[in-house]
Structure 1
Amino acid sequence: MADYKKIAEEVVKAVGGKNNIASVSHCATRLRIMVNDKEQIDEKASEDIELVKGAFYNSGQYQIIFGTGTVNKVYEQFRHIGITEASTSEQKQQAAQQGNGFQRAIRTFGDVFVPIIPVLVATGLFMGVRGLVTQDAILELFGMTPDDISANFLLFTEVLTDTAFIFLPALVAWSTFRVFGGSPVIGLVLGLMLVSPSLPNAWAVASGDANPLTFFGFIPVIGYQSSVLPAFIAGIVGAKLEQQIRKRVPDALDLILTPFLTLLLMIILSLFLIGPIFHIVEEWILAATLFLLDLPFGLSGLIIGAVNQIIVVTGVHHIFNFMEIQLLSQLGNNPYNAIITCSIAGQGGAALAVGLKTRSAKLKALALPSSLSAFLGITEPAIFGVNLRYFRPFIMGLIGGGVGGFFASIFGLKATGMAVTVIPGTLLYLNGQILLYLLVNLIAIGVAFALTWLFGYTDKMHEELQGS
């Protein structure tokens, strides 16, 4: 059994000691250490620590990959050796000073949308389960037909599958206020105002069953059900406006005037200016996304499947959360998911080939669990711990992802949700697509595995790396 206290102590030593650690936090797979002096980090020493699957410096943090579960146990030991963890806000303030403007913007984008993803994952799984239980073949097993399904049951499933997207602007505004320093509850109420039943429903307007309200003869006003960008921009402006109002309002009146003025001014701005403008921008972004995904001959799947994990390496992949949320909210499906699933499966296939081919017990113990992690949807251990170290397996994984993505695009696979991939992602394809989904994953894994086995890895590469 691993000595997690010893591992934590070795991590501290490798990053330059306690005095060089500004703060520590962790995510699902990585220990994130904010250091005072990057030059004091001994990268080779940190990568040689037991259970470490890779390490790199990115976005102002030194990130050490341990994998799910393990990272929690290592992180817990930091308190026992006298290092206190920083709050999320403290880490954000420290990280905000590091990296270029684009990196900081992407971090902020991720801070807003990542907390929303779990409920959208649950919604997607609900959609998948509903698709499964309403299939003719499944109903026949119980001697039923679609006509036998209770209307109340269908209504119940709609509550599960539609609520998050109907009130998506409220979730986005809440999270944006939280990130930009406003009161989250004010953001929540502002988002709810954007989907008020008093406004013409966005879906009804789109289908021609309702007409927008017209103010001043030229400003169209509608509800923003399933909309993302207007709520995001309104959240940024609203949080900053609240801060300015709070500075100027006497403390005795703060409780009354600050939320009153913030909501009054922001709903006017949101309905008459921000909403109409950024709803159009959102439609342009959606049209551009669909143009890319609709490229003929499977080109979209080939391109996205091949480059997706390169984007993961750069750390800016969270920007695509917005695109997936938009696809789901506007179309009710997500063709992007199957393609990126193949890119993840490809990296898992490459790591699996390394693990099975190598004679090094240590590399085998690293590569095989890393491939399993990839098959569960988390590629960082496989990428940083194995494939990028030897480089060629990473390239073979990209090729496998591109080939799998090509077939996912050709077959027209469309997920019912987002954020879960490969094995867990099967739950998003229970509506009659499951066999094709499994096929494209096997193609991605098989191509990456075969290429890595034949051309991507030899133990000579491992020996050369160890000797360097």
Structure 2
Amino acid sequence: MASNTEIAKQVIEAVGGEENVQSIAHCATRLRIMVHEREKVDVESLENIDKVKGAFYNSGQYQVIFGTGTVNRIYEEVTNQGVEGSSKSEMKEEAAKQGTMFQRAIRTFGDVFVPIIPVLVATGLFMGLRGLLIQEKFLAMFGLTPDSVPENFLLFTEVLTDTAFIFLPALVAWSTFRVFGGTPVIGMVLGLMLVSPSLPNAWAVAAGNAEPIYILDFIPIVGYQGSVLPAFFAGLVGAKLEKWCRKRIPEALDLILTPFIVLLVMITLSLFLIGPILHTAEDGIFQGMLFLLELPFGVSGLVIGSLHQVIVITGVHHIFNFLEIQLFENLGYNPFNPVITGAIAAQGGAALAVGVKTSSNKLKALSYPSALSAFLGITEPAIFGVNLRYMKPFLMGLIGGGVSGFLASILNLQATGLAITVIPGSLLYLNEQIIGYIIVNVVAVAVAFILTYMFGFNDKMLDQKK
């Protein structure tokens, strides 16, 4: 196998040489290269380089999949070759003009929510562990009952499980200000104002234990605990207003006046206009998603499980982050996660079948790590590196996702968190659901593996691909 230095040279050559590279960056699994002329890029050569698990053009960039850890070393070697790198934020600015308006909007939405996801994942894991530790059967193993759990312990666990969602608008406003070029700490304070204790608590109002404050007898004023869209648009407008102010306010007064004006104007707009309107829109989106998920006879799981990975290919799947947050916030559990986890596992099962069946050592070396990546919740290496190359394995993976999604709906599985799936996702089901969750994933892998092995792949496809 070629060294990382040799691979770096081959990558540069395949994208048209150093002079054709506009900028280069990397994320967790992919080398992201922007080029001056797409015609000079030899995608076939790029895909055949050692350690490359797939390459495709999306969001204004050639995205070359190497996998976690490997991509860092290849990026370092590429920059050592004299190719100038750029930060991901700089590359986002360069790519911002690429794609349709809808794709750009979803990409921006993703830029806002991706940094928030880790703390929401942690919160979900805390909820799963809390559910396990107060579960009657689990406590019985130690001769205890739920009444044996100290109240102070429950209070401590509530701090872990509730904080991120109580202050979710602050996290969203902070991230939105950051993405749109404002001062993040101003966004943070604006978001905190939206959940100020001085306002009627949104959850208490929803439970009938508090009343909104009405302005002009028809504008309801409440806190926005757990809301996303009001905080997002408040952050978007607030960042634009801040940039407008900084261009017009003298430098000597900028430090004092700009935050004052932004916070005063934005909290007024947020409470009286943006909040009431978008909270209604948010509730409509939630009800629509809930309607889809509550379709009877497992239809919802069948549809979502079959189509989820198709949406991943389009690159607009970050919208699911928002939907999952809404579901989890409103219901206290996440019915979307168990439906899509099988869709992800199934793509790993299809890639595994390709690896088992092929006689090509290179394809085996590509398929097995890609399958493992999918079983850890990341399907891009399996999709772009293996399954989509030969199409049929991808389609068999979709069938496996549909079957497992149907089963998850029938079993009525409910995750205690979001954003992690397959093997890591099992931590969200550390209650009586864990057996059902395992069955869903095993079925997904088995269906996709068997269909791919029997009907979805043979080595003749290698020659056709060539």
Superposition TM-score, scaled by structure 1 size: 0.98
2:343 is equivalent to residue 346 of structure 1: no
Secondary structure of the residue aligned to 2:33 is strand
* Superimposed CA distance per residue, residues 13-68 of structure 1 (whole angstroms, 9 cap, x where no aligned partner): 11111111111111121111111111111101100100001100001000001111
Residue correspondence of structure 1 range 411-430 to structure 2 within 5 A: 411-430=411-430
Q: Report the counterpart of residue 177 of structure 1 in structure 2.
A: 177
Q: Report the counterpart of residue 241 of structure 1 in structure 2.
A: 241
Secondary structure of the residue aligned to 2:298 is helix
Q: CA deviation at 1:248?
A: 1.3
Change in Cα spacing, 1:2 to 1:136, as seen in structure 2 (3 Å) is: farther
State the alpha-carbon separation in 2 of the partners of residues 132 and 425 from structure 1. Answer: 15
Q: CA deviation at 1:244?
A: 1.1
State the alpha-carbon separation in 2 of the partners of residues 362 and 88 from structure 1. Answer: 31
State the alpha-carbon separation in 2 of the partners of residues 453 and 147 from structure 1. Answer: 52
Runs of 5+ in structure 2 lacking a partner?
Answer: none
Q: Report the counterpart of residue 55 of structure 1 in structure 2.
A: 55
Q: Report the counterpart of residue 456 of structure 2 in structure 1.
A: 456
Secondary structure of the residue aligned to 1:110 is helix
Q: Report the counterpart of residue 382 of structure 2 in structure 1.
A: 382
* Superimposed CA distance per residue, residues 41-96 of structure 1 (whole angstroms, 9 cap, x where no aligned partner): 11011001000011000010000011111111111212311123212332122101
Q: Residue type of the partner of 2:420?
A: V
Residue correspondence of structure 1 range 99-118 to structure 2 within 5 A: 99-118=99-118
* Superimposed CA distance per residue, residues 190-243 of structure 1 (whole angstroms, 9 cap, x where no aligned partner): 000000001000000000000001112211100000000100111111111111
Q: Report the counterpart of residue 321 of structure 1 in structure 2.
A: 321
- Preserved contact between residue 180 and residue 240 of structure 2 (Cα < 8 Å): yes
State the alpha-carbon separation in 2 of the partners of residues 167 and 362 from structure 1. Answer: 49
Q: Report the counterpart of residue 128 of structure 2 in structure 1.
A: 128
Q: Report the counterpart of residue 207 of structure 2 in structure 1.
A: 207
- Preserved contact between residue 26 and residue 72 of structure 2 (Cα < 8 Å): yes
State the alpha-carbon separation in 2 of the partners of residues 2 and 115 from structure 1. Answer: 35
Residue correspondence of structure 1 range 303-322 to structure 2 within 5 A: 303-322=303-322
Q: Report the counterpart of residue 84 of structure 1 in structure 2.
A: 84
Q: Report the counterpart of residue 137 of structure 2 in structure 1.
A: 137
Q: Report the counterpart of residue 261 of structure 2 in structure 1.
A: 261
Q: CA deviation at 1:2?
A: 5.2
Runs of 5+ in structure 1 lacking a partner?
Answer: none
Secondary structure of the residue aligned to 1:24 is strand
Q: Residue type of the partner of 1:286?
A: F
Secondary structure of the residue aligned to 1:64 is strand
* Superimposed CA distance per residue, residues 109-147 of structure 1 (whole angstroms, 9 cap, x where no aligned partner): 110111100000000011111111111121112211100
Q: Report the counterpart of residue 295 of structure 1 in structure 2.
A: 295
State the alpha-carbon separation in 1 of the partners of residues 462 and 77 from structure 2. Answer: 31
Q: Report the counterpart of residue 221 of structure 1 in structure 2.
A: 221
State the alpha-carbon separation in 2 of the partners of residues 125 and 302 from structure 1. Answer: 27
State the alpha-carbon separation in 2 of the partners of residues 108 and 11 from structure 1. Answer: 28
Q: Residue type of the partner of 1:114?
A: V
Q: Report the counterpart of residue 330 of structure 1 in structure 2.
A: 330
State the alpha-carbon separation in 2 of the partners of residues 15 and 276 from structure 1. Answer: 50
State the alpha-carbon separation in 2 of the partners of residues 330 and 37 from structure 1. Answer: 47
Q: CA deviation at 1:464?
A: 2.5
Q: Report the counterpart of residue 438 of structure 1 in structure 2.
A: 438
State the alpha-carbon separation in 2 of the partners of residues 290 and 372 from structure 1. Answer: 32
- Preserved contact between residue 170 and residue 231 of structure 2 (Cα < 8 Å): yes
Q: Report the counterpart of residue 119 of structure 2 in structure 1.
A: 119
Secondary structure of the residue aligned to 2:193 is helix
Q: Residue type of the partner of 1:270?
A: S
State the alpha-carbon separation in 1 of the partners of residues 213 and 462 from structure 2. Answer: 67
2:18 is equivalent to residue 18 of structure 1: yes
136-145 or 179-188, which moves further after superposition?
136-145
Q: CA deviation at 1:281?
A: 0.4
State the alpha-carbon separation in 1 of the partners of residues 93 and 436 from structure 2. Answer: 45
155-164 or 136-145, which moves further after superposition?
136-145
Q: Report the counterpart of residue 147 of structure 1 in structure 2.
A: 147
State the alpha-carbon separation in 2 of the partners of residues 5 and 289 from structure 1. Answer: 48
* Superimposed CA distance per residue, residues 285-315 of structure 1 (whole angstroms, 9 cap, x where no aligned partner): 0000000000011011000100110111111
Secondary structure of the residue aligned to 1:297 is coil
2:42 is equivalent to residue 42 of structure 1: yes
Secondary structure of the residue aligned to 1:208 is coil
- Preserved contact between residue 194 and residue 224 of structure 2 (Cα < 8 Å): yes
What do you get for the CA RMSD once the two structures are aligned?
Answer: 1.0
State the alpha-carbon separation in 1 of the partners of residues 139 and 283 from structure 2. Answer: 38
Q: Residue type of the partner of 1:310?
A: V
State the alpha-carbon separation in 1 of the partners of residues 126 and 335 from structure 2. Answer: 17
State the alpha-carbon separation in 2 of the partners of residues 88 and 243 from structure 1. Answer: 22
Q: Residue type of the partner of 1:165?
A: F
Q: Residue type of the partner of 1:13?
A: E
- Preserved contact between residue 26 and residue 88 of structure 2 (Cα < 8 Å): no
Q: CA deviation at 1:99?
A: 1.6
Q: CA deviation at 1:266?
A: 0.4
Q: Report the counterpart of residue 357 of structure 1 in structure 2.
A: 357
State the alpha-carbon separation in 2 of the partners of residues 256 and 373 from structure 1. Answer: 50
> Which consecutive segments of 4 or more residues in structure 1 shift more than 6 A?
none
